[in-house]
Structure 1
């Protein structure tokens, strides 16, 4: 491969590292063409960008980045594919779906500005909540007291009785 082509690939990888806040390093060894195609299709549906890369080019892209990715250097052995995503836990859920077959095997990840090295970190990565999931939890927590008041009113309670009950509780 010519130096110009390598430089172009390094620049493109660097742009992806900036564009996507989360990425996973996986080993796809053992996937046949049909399974690889199926995985790529699932990645596309889940808004994950899957790229098979050369380890040396990825390391050079890491080195050129503003973020220090040295904890992931040890993962750059053997075959490596990168799963880029906007949501931290989506690739982990997809990998876990394939866990029975053991492919793709998690090598490492950069999610929520933290490094995860090793296949044993998969459950931690699946447990990370997305921004939308956290917002939904907060909204549910905020709605709970309002629902209690509304259900009390709908159950035939009078406003005066509810206010008295709240006043007694606060004493």
Structure 2
């Protein structure tokens, strides 16, 4: 491969690393063409971009990116594929579901919510990571809860008062 071709690949990877909020480094070696195609279709359906890259080119792209991901360099051994996503926990769920049947992909490392996760044992922690939108939804729900409680108490109190007034009216 010519150095100009390598530079184009490095620049392309760097742009993808910078443009996506989260990415996973996985090993999909050992999957046959049919299984790899199934994985790619599943990734496409869940808005995950799957890219296979050489470790040296990926390392240079990581070095040139705006992300602080030096800890990921140790994971760049063997076959490496990258899963780019905007939602942090989607690839983790995808990996867990797909690997039940095929034993692949194997999680090497992940860059999620500006944190680095190393090793396959971090998969459950990554599944539990909530996206920014999910966290905002939780905060909004917590903020609404006291108001909803107050409104329901006022409504039930109003119903009680109405019932007492109706009873008094009937006595007369």
Q: TM-score range by the shorter chain?
A: 0.7 to 0.9
Q: Which residue of 2 aligns with 1:105?
A: 106
1:150: Cα distance to partner? 2.2
| TM-aligned CA distance change 1:68 to 1:134, over 3 Å | closer
Is the contact between residue 108 and residue 117 of structure 1 (CA under 8 Å) also seen in structure 2? yes
Q: For structure 1, which runs of at least 5 residues remain unmatched after alignment?
A: 161-171
1:157: Cα distance to partner? 3.2
Q: Which residue of 2 aligns with 1:131?
A: 132
Normalized against structure 1, the TM-score is what? 0.86
1:18: Cα distance to partner? 0.7
**Does the alignment pair 1:15 with 2:25?**
no
1:156: Cα distance to partner? 4.3
Give the number of equivalent residue pairs.
160
Q: Which residue of 1 aligns with 2:70?
A: 70
Normalized against structure 2, the TM-score is what? 0.86
1:129: Cα distance to partner? 0.4
- Three-state SS of the structure 2 residue aligned to 1:141 is helix
Instruction: Give the greater-gyration-radius structure (CA).
Output: 2
Is the contact between residue 28 and residue 81 of structure 1 (CA under 8 Å) also seen in structure 2? yes
Q: Which residue of 2 aligns with 1:88?
A: 88
Is the contact between residue 153 and residue 159 of structure 1 (CA under 8 Å) also seen in structure 2? no
Is the contact between residue 23 and residue 85 of structure 1 (CA under 8 Å) also seen in structure 2? yes
Q: Which runs of 4+ in 1 moved over 4 A?
A: none
Q: Which residue of 2 aligns with 1:166?
A: none
Q: Which residue of 1 aligns with 2:53?
A: 53
1:159: Cα distance to partner? 10
- Three-state SS of the structure 2 residue aligned to 1:88 is coil
Aligned Cα root-mean-square deviation (Å): 1.8
| Structure 1: distance between partners of 2:160 and 2:2 | 79
Question: Counting helix residues as a fraction of each chain, which structure ranks higher?
Answer: 2
